[in-house]
Amino acid sequence: MRSLNMDKLVIEGGVALKGEVSISGAKNSALPILAATLMTDDACIIKGIPELRDTETMFKILRTLGKNVEFDRGIATVTSGRRKSHIADYELVSKMRASFCVLGPLLAKLKKAKVSYPGGCVIGIRPVDLHIKGLKALGADIDIDAGYISASADSLKGNLIYLGGVFGSSVLATDNVMMAAVLARGKTTIESAACEPEVADLAEFLIKMGAEISGHGTPVIEIEGVKHLHGAEHRIIPDRIEAGTFILASLITRGDITIKNVLSQHLGALIDKVQEAGVQVRRMDSSLRVSCRRQIKPVNITTLPFPGFPTDMQAQFTSLMSVTPGISVVTEKIYPDRFMHVAELNRMGANIQREGPHAIISGNKDLSGAVVMASDLRASASLVLAGLIAKGKTTVTRIYHLERGYENMEKKLEELGARIKKDKE
């Protein structure tokens, strides 16, 4: 796994990227699927796991909860140890928000759970009220004290649960409630469930473990509770956000990239916007070719839950529009404060004005290299994309954010021709 040293990326811009790149497994599938292994005493084998800071953190969490985890070349083998714990420690859970999805599995399996409030990227307020609402509806007693959420239940009982929030459905809340409901008595119906492919991937893994789930991938998920789950083997889906980032890397550098191991049906909203900008995306069986030889047109985007434009692609698209002549507007409806990258892009010569949940971009043809600081995972990627096209040298600091969600990004870019290297800060 990657070291915890403070590293930086140094990029010499101006190279059109060319060649092939293979997409890693989806981080946002891997983390809840790993958490789901807590629900069985049998061995589970998960394939296609990316080597990231976040997956390493989840391995550590599982070990503290009594699991044995072996990881080699993208394959994690999870087995049960002698001692089980229901307490997910603050030091680990505070490192990433997705670790909160151990709450549902622990409650379902051990009838009790104590999980610290989650941490992760600073991209705005992300409450856990929907998680609590859903678990309470299943019969859990929940207390909040000293930064921990404690849940207990002699038995969970299926229920009709509405999980819509202020900004739409919640992926992690859907994951947590779905996992808990799998071992509840009777039928659970989750309305306004998240439709993201990663939620459906988790459901497919749970089904392999013996769960009875239908409707995953739609706003209504139905679960018939079962008494126990067994071990299973599963390969997680490709990371649609990594694939989308490389699509935009091709566009911003006027490159020609073939992106392999990708499911194009997971990228419909992004591909639609790329085509609206005047670029054709060639779809093949499990790959995409994105070639851009001319100036693209400015387009507006609004982030929405899947199948809408993903919030996790907003920062990268903002970088692309900042070098696209004309006016474009980015509207963030999932996390209205998710604009930490704007100030750093403006330091590179972009002309972006923030007005509430909107970013108004006056596109320039050129950016200039600068020293910029990554504030969160996707902001990191946006600054790397800007550095690929900027004149001169760009230094992106605090790239541990980037390493939370992109496997070997600098190496993949280097193989496409980018002049990029990692140095110590």
Active-site residue numbers? 121
- Cα distances (Å, whole numbers) of residue 158 to 108, 187, 221: 12, 5, 12
Q: Contact, 301 vs 277, CB < 8 A? A: no
**Residue 424, SS3 per DSSP:** strand
CA distance 65 to 81: 9
Categorise residue 149: left if φ over 0, alpha if ψ from -120 to 50, beta otherwise: beta
**Residue 423, SS3 per DSSP:** strand
Q: Enumerate residues 6+ apart whose C-beta is below 8 A from 317.
A: 248, 270, 273, 301, 309, 330
- Cα distances (Å, whole numbers) of residue 102 to 151, 225, 248, 401, 422: 12, 18, 33, 22, 34
Question: What backbone phi and psi angles, to 5 degrees, belong to 74?
Answer: 85, 0
Half-sphere exposure at residue 52, Cβ-oriented, CA atoms within 13 angstroms: 27
